Structures are given as C-alpha cells and as structure tokens.
C-alpha cells in the first residue's frame, strides 16, 4: 500500500519529504536557487535549466515530446480521427473540427 501525502486531507501518494507534488514534495532542481521540480533525465535539473529528455534530431537542443522529438521535428501526436493526417490538438488528440463532432 502506497503511503499518502502528509498534508491534512490529501489522499495523493507522496514523493520525497512525505508530501505529494502539489504540496511541495518531490526532488528540486539542482540549479542554485531554483525551486522547480527536477526531471529524471540529464542531471536532475528542471526543464528550464537543461533537464529532461532532449530532441533526438541531430543538432537540436529543444525538449523532446512524442517519440523523443520536439514539435518542430515531428514530436506531436497525429489526429486520431480516421483518415486525418494533421496534428491533433486538445487532450484527446483530435483536430478542431473533429473534436466538435464528439
């Protein structure tokens, strides 16, 4: 059984320090003075200080998204509507006109 956040009435699982991410738990960025949560990749820093997975396209230093590539190099999800090849938007990966038909 996972332990819960020590904040009163919070049922979320805790990270470090006995608290969930929303109540200040988690490991902080290793950059001096930064209070953001760090990413697991690239030395324990937040995305703003060079942490996180980088785009796999040669020479690109942007953050990787879907399939290890940034948005500029194809790291966006495609629309999930049958026959549509455009990039999806919104949280359910549908293009605008397809999302309104739900």
Task: Give the pLDDT confidence of 6-61 residue by residue, as tens digits.
Answer: 888 898 888 777 888 888 888 888 889 988 888 776 678 888 888 888 888 899 88
pLDDT at 59: 92
* pLDDT for 85 beyond 50: yes
Buried b (16+ CB within 10 A) or exposed e, 15-41: beeebbeebbbbebbebeeeeebbbee
Report field, pTM of the whole predicted structure over 0.75 = no
Name the H helices within 1-102.
Answer: 96-99
Better-predicted residue by pLDDT, 94 or 42:
42
* pLDDT for 97 beyond 70: no
- How far is Cα 77 from Cα 79, in angstroms, rounded to an integer? 7
Give φ, ψ of 51 to 5 degrees. Answer: -85, 170
End-to-end alpha carbon distance in the chain: 38
pLDDT at 51: 81
- How far is Cα 65 from Cα 71, in angstroms, rounded to an integer? 7
pLDDT at 26: 81
């Amino acid at each position: 059984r996972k332990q819960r956040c020590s904040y009163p009435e919070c049922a979320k699982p805790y990270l470090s320090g006995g608290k969930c991410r929303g109540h200040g738990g988690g490991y902080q960025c290793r950059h001096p003075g930064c209070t953001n949560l760090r990413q697991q990749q690239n030395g324990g820093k937040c995305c703003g200080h060079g942490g996180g997975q980088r785009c796999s396209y040669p020479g690109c230093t942007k953050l990787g998204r879907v399939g290890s590539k940034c948005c500029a190099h194809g790291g966006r999800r495609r629309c999930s509507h049958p026959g549509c090849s455009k990039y999806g938007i919104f949280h359910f990966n549908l293009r605008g006109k397809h999302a309104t038909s739900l």
